[in-house]
Amino acid sequence: MKKHGDISRRDAMKVAISLIGSLIGTALGIPAIAYILGPALKKEETNWIRVSSLSTIELGTPTLLKPRIVRQDGWIEEKEEVGVYVLTEDGRNFHAMSNICTHLGCRVRWIAEREQFFSPCHNGVFDKHGYVVSGPPPRPLDEFETKIEDGNLYIQLPAVKRTS
């Protein structure tokens, strides 16, 4: 005979199955949520990359350097080459500029005879410090913050956009 307050075997099984299911769901769900949200919650790190030793940079003329970097976008890892023009007049102060035109994203090249950067994007022209001389580019070449450590030049990514 069943007393008041006793639970049936069927109700006990329902409770046990619900508890086990909840435990399994939690055990699988928490790591899955951490995996999905992890990259979005990751703090932005300062990204200093070694460009070159100081001895390879010419005085008074922009030097094109192409360091290889690894970019992490969420779970996707991409290896790429970044083009950087580095200018120094005295061997102590360094000015690093992107080699990407600010008009349409073409790669600029240094023309030593004219002492100017030339962009094939509608004939954009920049001076040796990256400022617009003529053409449609809306602003100077983007700059990279630089630092020197142990005889090597480092730049910080991403490039800093200059207004003029």
pLDDT attached to residue 134: 92
**Domain segments of the chain: what residues?**
1-42, 47-160
pLDDT of residue 34: 81
Q: Where are the beta strands (DSSP E) in 23-108?
A: 47-53, 63-65, 68-73, 76-81, 84-87, 95-98
pLDDT at 94: 92
Predicted pLDDT of residue 2: 57
Consecutive 10-residue averages of pLDDT for the chain (164 residues): 72 90 89 78 72 88 88 77 90 91 91 92 90 91 92 81 61
Count CB-CB contacts under 10 A for residue 110.
Answer: 18
What's the pLDDT at 74?
A: 67
Which CATH entry fits the domain spanning 47-160: 2.160.10.10, 1.10.3720.10, 2.102.10.10, 2.40.50.100? Answer: 2.102.10.10
State pTM to two decimals: 0.68
Beta bridge partners of 132: 126
pLDDT at 114: 92
Length of the chain as a residue count: 164
pLDDT of residue 46: 63
Nearest in space to 97 (alpha carbons), one of 122, 127, 121: 127
What pLDDT does 45 receive? 59
Task: Report the DSSP beta bridge partners of residue 52.
Answer: 153
